[in-house]
Amino acid sequence: MSGVHPGSVVDLHTHSLCSDGRDAPGDVVRAAAAAGVDVMALTDHDVVAGWAEADRAGREHGVCVVPGIEVSCSWRGISVHLLAYLPDPTDVALLGELEASRSSRETRLRRMVDLIAADGYPVSYEEVLELAGEGATLGRPHVADVLVRNGVFAVRDEAFARVLASDGPYYVSHYAPDPVRATELVVAAGGVAVIAHPFAGARGRVVDDAVVERMADAGLAGLEVDHRDHGPGEREHAGRLSGRLGLLRTGSSDYHGSGKPNRLGENTTAPEVLDRILAAGSGSALLGAPPRPR
């Protein structure tokens, strides 16, 4: 598949209620159409559950939806996020790792919530589960949302700064595959692997260039350079690294609905880069409307 219209607005990183976004998958697609986005990827953390609904909404609203996953990875305790576009959603090896992460996220979040509650904050694991909803990939943002709902903090960001930070007293890590292995799995499943916001230092420690280089050797196709959590220096570094390693340069919003200030289409990917991604992905078909012809 190729021939994305040269003027298309392309946003390849969004989240729905299937993970820690606040809109249903169809509503993310509707919001994308309203924001003037022509092509979007739905990339919930460690899950493909939103794809079917996004497909229906994409057809209805004329938005081309690229099926994706944001795969949680861990390199020596450092969190790495790997975007996987067009992977086979039935690939047993990839699904196995996603399931292992998702189930470890449950035990980990229960431990974090118990520690936070033991310090007197009004939050319980049951409330977190209820807020997240059946089947959602659980994450710290759900704990943040309960704390906000219970009046402790005004917004998610504040909850992260005060109690949920990865270097804070309540942090518990979860199982996740190493990013080199995850890259191999995504490629083996016919997907296109793009490392997400690799130098977003405000979230915690980040990997050094050597890890990205090893991922490139394992088949990494691209690097998300233009992302709100990259400052000017980080974009320059990321841009140079992608050039040196021959990686595609992407940009995206990392939209989470009202849970974060990120606006759909605030960072975008060049249509010719999308062409390359669509040509390389063989694991699944596009969802929703096909890209507009030239």
Long-range contacts of 89-95 (CB under 8 A, 24+ apart): 89/48, 89/51, 89/283, 89/284, 91/185, 91/188, 91/189, 91/190, 91/283, 93/185, 93/188, 93/189, 94/185, 94/186, 94/188, 94/189, 94/191
Residue from the set 72, 75, 81, 234 that interacts with Fe ion by CB under 5 A: 81
196 binding Fe ion? (CB under 5 A): yes
Q: What is the 3-state secondary structure (H, E, C) of 14-61?
A: ECCCCCCCCCCHHHHHHHHHHCCCCEEEEEEECCCCCHHHHHHHHHHH
Residue from the set 203, 205, 263, 294 that interacts with ligand AMP by CB under 6 A: 203
Residue from the set 27, 157, 209, 213 that interacts with ligand AMP by CB under 6 A: 157
Burial status of residue 232 (CB atoms within 10 A of its CB: 0-12, 13-18, 19 or more): exposed
Inter-CA distances, 90 with 16, 48, 49, 225, 291, Å: 21, 10, 12, 29, 24
140 binding Fe ion? (CB under 5 A): no
Our CB check for ligand AMP shows the closer of 194 and 278 to be: 194
230 binding ligand AMP? (CB under 6 A): no
In the chain, DSSP assigns E strands to 10-11, 39-45, 64-75, 78-85, 192-196, 222-226, 248-251, 287-288
- Nearest-angstrom CA–CA distance, 169 and 147: 17
87 binding ligand AMP? (CB under 6 A): no
- Residues in 230-259 that interact with Fe ion by CB under 5 A: 254
102 binding ligand AMP? (CB under 6 A): no
Report the partner that residue 156 touches, choosing among Zn ion, Fe ion, ligand AMP, none (CB closer than 5 to 8 A by kind). ligand AMP
Residue nearest to ligand AMP (CB): 139
114 binding ligand AMP? (CB under 6 A): no
- Residues in 8-37 that interact with Zn ion by CB under 5 A: 15, 20
- Nearest-angstrom CA–CA distance, 281 and 131: 34
198 binding ligand AMP? (CB under 6 A): no
* Minimum distance from residue 203 beta carbon to Fe ion (Å): 8
Our CB check for ligand AMP shows the closer of 19 and 242 to be: 19
44 binding Zn ion? (CB under 5 A): no
Report the partner that residue 196 touches, choosing among Zn ion, Fe ion, ligand AMP, none (CB closer than 5 to 8 A by kind). Fe ion
* Minimum distance from residue 55 beta carbon to Zn ion (Å): 21
Interaction site with ligand AMP (CB under 6 A): 20, 139-141, 156-157, 160, 203
Interaction site with Zn ion (CB under 5 A): 15, 20
